[in-house]
Structure 1
Amino acid sequence: MVINVNYVTETLMNLIRPIWGDLFNIAEIYGTNKAVWIPRLLKHFPRESLPEWYGGNRKDYKPVQIRG
């Protein structure tokens, strides 16, 4: 899953998807609209395992590294 990507990156990745075939078909790409990607993220992961900023309810989550 690639979440919270800007419009240019999302568009570019969606254009490359048909060319690269199976490599990009397994990737799910979501833009900056939380109303779209949080429900889809919660279909794959339980709310208890995600930090609050990804729609979860874990307050004690400490990431090793944040990129972007």
Structure 2
Amino acid sequence: MQEIEKKLIKIGFQVVRQKGSHVIFSNGRDAFPVPKHGSNNISPGVERQLLKILAMTRDEFSNIK
């Protein structure tokens, strides 16, 4: 499991489904696809989109243990 997936679960998101190479997370209000292409890194655009949905800064998200 990618680090980003672990962090999303810790802040209340759940895996809704997996379709192809994307895992769909939801917290009941927002849903977000996370690419799962064998790398632990996500693209900067996906990261910005995720942070916008979460209303968090990069530092806040990075500090989730």
TM-score between the two structures when normalised by the length of structure 2: 0.32
* Bigger helix fraction: 1
TM superposition score normalised by structure 1: 0.31
* Structure (1/2) with the larger strand percentage: 2
